[in-house]
Amino acid sequence: MTKTLCLDFGNTRLKAAIFEDEELKEIVFFNDNTESLHILSNATSFHQLNHLSHLPFTTPVAKPETIGADRLALAAAAVHYFPGRNNLVIGLGSCITYNFINKFNEFIGGSISPGMEIRLKSLNHYTAKLPLVKADWNVPLIGYDTNSNILSGVVLGMAKEIDGIIDEYNEKFNNFNVLLTGGDMVHLGSHLKKKIFADPELIFKGLYAISKVNNP
C-alpha cells in the first residue's frame, strides 16, 4: 500500500489529505509555515506543484507560468475523472475561478471573479454603515433588514453569476461537465439551477493525480 500526502497551502492554514493508494482517507489541518516545505523536501519524495510540473493536460495559453497551482490541480482532477470530455471546473474559494479543459485535455483558460468573503468584506470596508455579515445559505430573495439584504445580494447574485456563466459555456460547448468545489459550496449549491457534479475535495484529488505523473 502506497501512502501519498497532498498539501494545500492556504492563506492562513495548511490542509493535508492522506491517500492510501487512490483512496482519500483523511484530511488534517496545520498552522501554515515555510518550515514544512523543508522537512518534506528532506524526508520524503516531495514535489511542489508549479508551471514546470508534469501535468496530465496541456496549457496552450499566453502565459502558462501565471496559472495558479489551485487551478492546475482542479484541471488535473477534471482530466482524471472525466478524460476526453469538455469540463468546466468552478472553484469557490477566495475567488471564484472558472476553469475550462476541453475534450483534447487542453486547459484553455476561463475567468476569475471575487469570492463570497471578498464581496462581504468589501461591502463593509468601502461603505460607511454596512456591517460585515457572516455567510449563510438560507437567504431570502427579498431582504427584510440590512443583513438579509446583503446576503440576498451576495449569495443570490453569485448563484446567478455562476448560472449565467454556465449558460454562456453551454451556447459554445453544448456537451460538457460542470464540476463544483470549494468551501462556499455549502452556501451556494442549493441556489444553483444547473445539474452539477459537486465534490468539496476535488483539489486534493487533482493534486493526487498530478503526484502520480511526477512521482510514478
Q: Which residues are known to be catalytic? A: 70
Phi, psi of 209 (to 5 degrees): -60, -40
**What is the chain's percent helix, strand, coil content, to nearest 5?**
40, 25, 35
Between strands 177-181 and 107-114, the pairing is unpaired
What nine digits make up the cell of 119?
A: 464581496
Phi, psi of 45 (to 5 degrees): -85, 90
What nine digits make up the cell of 143?
A: 431582504
**Nearest partner of 189 among 119, 197, 75, judged by Cα:** 197
Helix or strand or coil: residue 184?
Answer: coil
Alpha helices in 44-82 (DSSP H): 69-81
